[in-house]
Amino acid sequence: MVEFDELAERFRASHAVLVAARDRLQAAVDAGTASDDQQKRLETVKELLTPVTVSETDADGNVVEVQRPRQFYSVDPEGQGRAVEVLGDLQKAKHIAVLVPGMGNSLDTFNGQADRGDLIRTEAGPDTAVVVWMDYDSPKNLLEAASQDAAVEAGPRLAAFLDEVDELKADDADVSLVTHSYGTDVGAEAVRAGARPKYLVMTGSPGIAKYVDEAADFVQPPTRLFTERAAGDYVSYSEWHGPDPANFPDAIRMATVDPRGEDPVSVHWHNEYYRENSEALRNIGRVIRGDLDSITTTNTSRSTETKLLLGASWGGPLNTVAGMASKVYDGVVALTKPSKESAGAAAGQTAAGRPPDAAGRGAGGAGRGSEGRRR
């Protein structure tokens, strides 16, 4: 394990990078020479510098709320921007999840991914730390997302980071890699480069490669593959980069809707896997904390899912729309989005599996207040 001061020094160094960027951008604004992008980036940097409120135990054993800077393992405010943020105590956590987002992300969208990380951490439980890993140039548009070049470039770097996490964490802590959309390609490339997380979670994947049609093609023991595909997820249906991992025979496909039909939160389309109090998020939390017996599963087909969405088969039209599936990649608005009434019809998604765990674990939000984020 790396000494605590070394990790703390990384946090301090990243904070200094953000302070320098803020001062430089503010000077440009004050001089009237800042571009629109620079003004937007200034607001982003200010948000990243806003302290978070956390609960800690003082010397007398009392739980107190304190404010501290955010814990950026690394940050690059230039260009598209990159950041790696640690939520929680990376060195004391029993369970660690590394979240890899997909297309359409930049430093200016990072807080949205950090919110997802907060939701995941709350769902997984108090002994969990989450790392939001956005240390790559996410494809900015559909043309870029059609290529896997960014994933091929980022995969080895993610694998190297996971090696660093192994050095930082407690010896008995386990690591899960949680990936979404184009991020599933990055995660797959990391595994190919030698990364061996205990669990690999893929949500809304556009496929790994044309020749990969089972987990054994790219996942090596001891890593186990878990997948999620929500009804109406055009990106998964498109199989843009290869067969959908949700169909792999040796992967565990988790339900995104409560199989009892009592789920107050419905998950559909491409960007809802991390919705608070959803079965999709509950299952992700179960994987991270190793509560595998409580996972609910499903084996619904694409045709069944598309029928459920509108109460009639529109699989044919959806096949056409799926050709432009990446319109609902991370950060990109769908070409057409059915009404709330239509989407609600999907709540009856058929799933076979176990009921949610008796603990009734929920997921707290990650809102902003005048005092900054709460963690």
Number of domains in the chain: 2
Decide if 244 is inside a domain.
yes
The answer on 294 and 193 residing in a single domain is yes
Decide if 73 is inside a domain.
no
CA atoms 302, 305, 309, 314: torsion sign: positive
The answer on 137 and 20 residing in a single domain is no
Full domain range(s) for residue 293? 80-360
Position 3 confidence tier, pLDDT thresholds 50, 70, 90: low
Asked if pLDDT for residue 311 goes beyond 80, the answer is no
Q: Are strands 224-228 and 199-203 parallel, antiparallel or unpaired?
A: parallel
Contact 270, 181 (CB under 8 A): yes
Mean of the per-residue pLDDT values for the chain? 84
| pLDDT of amino acid 343 | 32
The answer on 102 and 160 residing in a single domain is yes
| pLDDT of amino acid 267 | 85
Q: Could you read off the pLDDT of 123-142 as tens digits, one per residue?
A: 999 999 999 999 999 999 88
Decide if 29 is inside a domain.
yes
Q: Are strands 368-369 and 71-76 parallel, antiparallel or unpaired?
A: unpaired
- pTM score: 0.83
CATH code (residue 267): 3.40.50.1820
| pLDDT of amino acid 329 | 45
CA distance 343 to 373: 31
Position 163 confidence tier, pLDDT thresholds 50, 70, 90: very high
The answer on 30 and 163 residing in a single domain is no
